Amino acid sequence: MPTPHHDTCRAPARIEGRATWQVGRAQARAAGLLSSGFEAHGDGLRGYHYRLLAALEEWGPASQADLGRRTGIDRSDVTAALNELESRDLVARSVDPAHRRRNIVTITPAGIERLLALDEVVDGVQEAFLAPLTAAQRRQFLALLSRINDAQAPRINDAQC
């Protein structure tokens, strides 16, 4: 008896029409594009490094614990990522004079320079991800995603990202 042909790139129809399925597929594609973009950049930095550098540039010096909370990155992962960034002179850590057991992290001029280069990588990924949409559709898509995320999830500092 012949085996029916199955399209391995599709989900069953009852799943394909579900928003959660489509968002999951889009997230997987976005994550793959980001991973490839950072890998092609060739310096070994990843999305979580970018997130930490962006947070420090925007919000200023912060403790490691605050960075973890505000960016949604686990404390142990923050420490490892900051070790990598510090070894490349992209951030500097100093002891908080008010709390000797706490480190304050600051982005360095080299860190700002690297962040700007990574912005270009992320901009290219955004372009590739949103390529099927017109400019108006892109604005609408982002507005709708923001509306869903703002209504259903805590801000990034409380979310598992």
pLDDT at 116: 97
The predicted model gives 126-144 an average pLDDT of: 97
Confidence of residue 155 (pLDDT cuts 50, 70, 90): low
* pTM, entire model: 0.82
CA 100 from centroid of its chain's CA atoms: 31
Distance, CA of 77 to CA of 15 (rounded, Å): 34
The closest alpha carbon to 56, from 110, 16, 99, belongs to 110
Domain residue ranges of the chain, discontinuous segments joined by +: 26-152
49, 85 in Cβ contact below 8 A? yes
Distance CA 105, CA 115 (A): 15
Check whether domain 26-152 has CATH 1.10.10.10, yes or no: yes
Model confidence pLDDT, tens digit, residues 60-81: 999 999 999 999 999 889 999 9
- Tally DSSP H helices, then E strands, for the chain: 7, 3
Percent of the chain residues topping a pLDDT of 90: 74
Q: Is the pLDDT of residue 158 over 50?
A: no
Please report the pLDDT score of residue 111 as a whole number: 98
Bigger pLDDT: 11 or 47?
A: 47
Residues 79-124 have pLDDT tens digits of 999 999 999 999 999 998 888 888 999 999 999 999 999 999 999 9
pLDDT value of residue 157: 43
Residue 1 is predicted with a pLDDT of: 52
Question: Residue 127 in contact with residue 120, Cβ under 8 Å?
Answer: no
Phi–psi pair at 17, nearest 5 degrees: -85, 5
Instruction: Report residue 132: phi and psi, to 5°.
Output: -70, -10
